[in-house]
Structure 1
Amino acid sequence: MKHSTPTRPAGRARAGAAFGALLAVGALLAGCSGTGGGHASDARAPDARGGSAGTTAPVPPGQQEKRDRAAAPDYLSTFALDVDTASYGYARRVLGDGRLPSPETVRPEEFVNSFKQGYERPRGNGFSVSVDGARTGGGADDWSLLRVGLATRAADDTAVRPPAALTFVVDISGSMAETGRLDLVRTSLAHLTEQLRDDDSVALVTFSDEAETVFPMTALRGHRTDIREAVDSLRTASSTNVAAGVERGYDEAVQGRREGATNRVVLLSDALANTGETDADAILERIDSSRREYGITLFGVGVGSDYGDALMERLADKGDGNTTYVADETQARKVFVDQLPAHVDLRARDAKAQVEFDRETVQQFKLIGYENRAVADEDFRDDSVDGGEVGPGHTVTALYAVRLREGASGHVATATVRWLDPATREAHERTGSVETGAIDGALWNGSDERLQVAAAAAYFADILRGGTLPDTPGLSELASRTRKLAAETGDGSVSKLADAIDRAAGLKGAEPGARSAPAEGEMD
């Protein structure tokens, strides 16, 4: 199905080289990326009189004229779609325990994608594309937030979705004995099995120092009681051999694979690997042919106050899937009941987005987050390069800090999403664009409420990881604005965001002041 292991790192290397040369001339938003390293979406736009040297990717027939007029590579931002939310869920858990999350566990896109955005949904399969924004500052050094919103059609009636073949891989290591870990896994699996249909199938694998198949792929019809009893009987053992569990889980998934069904491995763990192979790439290399040939995706569900975030996130990215974090029974019900279709079905495979900025109007841009999902610009239409898997009812939001040229007016950017149909593997694209008039309003004064929520989540993440986004409010101001948004939207999840910001403000003590963009050099 994919060849992501050899091609994607090479694509990143090409992107890094191109932007390394760019950043050697003049840095854009130095230090703005909390995870470090060059990012394919960081760019200082050349002067409007001429672009940087570079090549463009091969294009389909009939589109050459359009691409001849397109921006040079440094005007392009390309990334794989990401619907993960684990980073935000874990940050809330850590803050609730009275600690600040480690900066390396904070991924802004997962904070932003944890909140409803209200995008128009497409009528058919695939994506809708929405692009808007608002001004974040004032004066000559004026910045804007640009929002690219992608949405899939909501779930069909559960009676008409494809059947699911799910292999549960459950961590029963000693660390799962902590109150709220294995108990929460049992609760999550109970919710999930209650929601599945009789024609769905499940298998159960457990692992500690070794992996064991509790039962092979089994149809739920006539076996629900057996499955519940097996789940209730789970008990903790010794060390954590994630590699053994994942490998055995994929073996069972392949053996029990059902044609025409959604075949998925569901890993429930604190991901604190301490036995056997502990590197995500090496773990998945062992089952690479199975996941590529059979299209089996991985859904990672994290639990525990101590959580191997980096391992779980990498497993999901390399396993063509997504992650979430479950801290309590309320969240377990949300994931496995309310959001069940999004986790057992697919609307799109290998989905990527590319945003093309207009050199006549845009002076600088910075993609907020998605560092781990960067794709080389020339690989956008290379369907062998790994993208993201997206389920029904999902939304994906990408925020950019954008600085327009002084007095600029007209076209700002065009966003394109490309994906493969899950059944036919046929490639599709949709586009959307935005003009300067659509981003002229003030962010905190009358702009779309959901844009403000996305901004609050992004700014919060940026503060937690020590970033330097322009016009970021201090934590107290951000908490106040978010509390107001919670009242205006009536959205309990926004109220919880405000609570988390308040906790962070208390833990940080000294309030950071509003940030401004670093000093800039000449553009060409």
Structure 2
Amino acid sequence: MAALAAVGCFVLFTDHFFRPFSVPAAALAGTSDANAQLRRKTLKDFNSHGFNEPVGQGNTHTRHEPNTFTSVGKDRLSTFAVDVDTASYSLFRRSVKDDALPERSSVRVEEWVNAFSYRLPEPEPGTGDFHVDLEAAPSPFTPGRYLLKVGLQGRRVAKSERKPTHLVFLVDTSGSMAGDDRLELAKTSMKLAVRGLNETDTVAITTYAGDVRTVLEPTPARQLERIERAIDSLCSGGGTAMGDGLELAYRYAVRMVGRDTVSRVVVLTDGDTNLGRNQTADAMLASVARYVREGVTLSTIGFGTGNYRDDLMERLADKGNGNCFYIDSEHEARRVFEEKLTGTLEVIAKDVKVQVDFEPDAVRGYRLVGYENRAVADQDFRDDTVDGGEIGAGHSVTALYEVELTGKGTRLATVRVRAKKPQGEEAAEQRFTLERDRVRASLNKASADLRFAAAVAGTADLLRGAHEASDWSLATAESLAEGALDGQEDRREFLTLLHRVRELRGERGVPQAAR
């Protein structure tokens, strides 16, 4: 997902909307490896049969076939676009707190892993926008295999150094937004975002229900009381006109676009809506793409459950060069709009791709755990016209590989990161190497970050029904997480959720081997 020099970002908070639409064939062009073939088949089924679950009969997700284990002799390169979305993990947390297991198709491993913070070194001044931390250790799940952690850390930008930001909130005030977990939580999220802005930033508020209207013209963020009064005045009732609301919000955002500014549209909705006058899903997606070219980007954030259109939120975020989040609590709202606000607002790189080049004499085979819907054809890594992901200031991306080692060679892999500046069209490349001395002799000698990421990825892979994880144990993941909390409350919460998952699955106790 690219970001232009003058970034206008559209953040969409939603539950579900739109009817099924087709996936353009162009999105699949040039994909050649076995995992991409699986992806192509999944999307073909998606086009032929519509979304995996009927609209209005529960949450709707798109299933992505897990990556298969690949022989280095057949394909030594693994290439993917970065992803800092976390919606899948928030949906999991919501499900478990409602005493239900997550739907398999809702589980995207990378979004679970990247929902947590890791102690990754920052790039040294003058070395580029990223640092990549590499580490490997014996797998706790599959005998004879190792887990390789690839951790990418973006440079940080101080709040005082941020570009001026212009936020345009588009709020769904239709009747379905009534409730503490929808409109009230959306209003809390807006206030958290506004309180984190600089005095030079501005805020506008628009709404849609039966019609669209402007509640607050662009107003300096320093006028906090006036902005919060406008937020408090919002109430739910009436029908929906999503497409018309988007057009109004985008028009405000485009007016504020500039080379040295950020213009971000924030849409809050449960998604229980229609498109508006003479709108189709394809027309809406085309409109989103047009505004991206003008400097406005779109990110999606959902509220509510029961008919949440997770599949569409993810696709819209990709089309709009933004991020996909799901807000299930005030804690999550604070994480997105308070703790990580600078990273959400300030993009440091666009079209970010990662390519791992495994050494055939040292690595027999590998499997990337997750990132199925972020796959990039190997030959497209250096094709700068092929879209990648965007990274905000201070954002990190962590990926895990299962690998089989031969025991030979001193270098296991070379990791390359390719990205463009927010205002650039030519990409620069950084290179990092994994030497054998970064392979730990035992899992106990690995960092807490690797052990915890392994517990999260293992849980997600098992719950989504991945073939490679069919013999894995949630008890092992629970024991692993328990020993890698590192004093972080979010990790402790995951451990609590995992314990409840095991109860819901009828599992009891922790096998001695997993202790």
Q: TM-score range by the shorter chain?
A: 0.7 to 0.9
Q: 2:31 aligns with which of 15, 36, 40?
A: 15
Alignment of 1:329-348 (within 5 A): 329-348=330-349
Deviations 1:291-319 (A, max 9, x none): 1232x222322222333222222111211
Measured at CA, do residues 388 and 278 of structure 1 come closer, stay the same or move farther in structure 2, by a change above 3 Å?
A: farther
Contact kept, 8 Å, 1:473 with 1:513, in 2: the verdict is no
Q: Please tell me the residue identity of whatever aligns with 2:502.
A: A
**TM-score, normalising length from structure 1?**
0.81
The amino acid of 1:292's aligned partner reads R
Superposition deviation, residue 492 in structure 1: 0.9
User: CA contact under 8 A between 1:352 and 1:417: conserved in structure 2?
Assistant: yes
SS of the equivalent of 2:347 reads coil
Q: Per-residue deviation at 1:113?
A: 0.6
Q: Is the 8 A contact 2:458 2:469 kept in 1?
A: no
Give the aligned CA root-mean-square deviation in angstroms. 3.1
* 1:503 aligned counterpart, secondary structure: helix
Count of paired positions = 467
> 1:432/1:240 Cα in 2 relative to 1: closer, same or farther (>3 Å)?
farther
Partner-residue secondary structure (3-state), 1:178: coil
Deviation string, structure 1 residues 56-96 (Cα, Å, up to 9, x no partner): xxxxxxxxxxxxxxxxxx22111111111111112101110
The equivalent of 1:113 in structure 2 is 114
**1:475 is matched with which residue?**
474
Q: What's the CA shift for 1:267? A: 2.4
**Aligned equivalents of 1:187 and 1:3: distance in 2?**
27
| Residues 498 and 461 of structure 1, relative CA distance in 2, 3 Å threshold | same
SS at match of 1:315: helix
What residue number does 2:495 align with? 498
State how far apart, in whole Å, the 2-side matches of 1:138 and 1:85 are. 24
Query: Are 1:457 and 2:460 matched, yes or no?
Result: no
Please name the residue that 1:212 is paired with.
213
Partners of 1:22 and 1:43 within 8 A in 2: no
1:146: which partner in 2?
148
Determine if contact 1:247/1:287 at 8 Å carries over to the other structure: no
User: What SS does structure 1 have at the residue aligned with 2:227?
Assistant: helix
1:193 match: 194
CA change 1:250–1:435 in 2 (3 A) is: same
1:204-243 alignment runs, 5 A limit? 204-221=205-222, 223-243=223-243
Alignment CA distance shift 1:211-1:439 (3 Å) = farther
Amino acid at match of 1:113: N
Alignment of 1:27-426 (within 5 A): 35-37=63-65, 43-46=70-73, 74-124=75-125, 126-136=129-139, 142-156=144-158, 158-221=159-222, 223-276=223-276, 282-294=283-295, 296-306=296-306, 307-405=308-406, 407-426=407-426
Kindly indicate whether residue 450 of structure 2 is the aligned counterpart of residue 447 of structure 1. Answer: no
TM-score, reference length from structure 2: 0.83
- Which one-letter code corresponds to 1:498 in the other structure? L
Q: Please list every run of 5 or more consecutive structure 1 residues that lacks an aligned counterpart in the other structure.
A: 24-33, 47-51, 53-73, 515-524
Q: Which residue type is aligned with residue 423 of structure 2? A: A
User: How far, CA to CA, are the matches of 1:476 and 1:230 in structure 2?
Assistant: 49
CA distance in 2, matches of 1:42, 1:278: 43
Aligned-partner Cα distance in 1 for 2:38–2:244: 44
Q: Name the CA shift for 1:495/1:240 in 2 (closer, same or farther; >3 Å).
A: farther
Q: 1:466 to 1:241 in 2, by over 3 A?
A: farther
Residues 20 and 155 of structure 1: CA distance in aligned 2, closer, same or farther (over 3 Å) = closer
Q: Secondary structure at the match of 1:286?
A: helix
Distance 1:120 1:310, change over 3 A: same
**5+ long unaligned stretches in structure 2:** 5-22, 40-61
Equivalent-residue separation in structure 1 for 2:471 and 2:110 (angstroms): 16
- Percent of counterpart pairs with the same letter? 38
* 1:394-428, Cα deviation, whole Å (9 max, x unpaired): 110111111223x4333221111111111344422
CA contact (8 A) 1:8 1:385 kept: no
SS at match of 2:383: coil
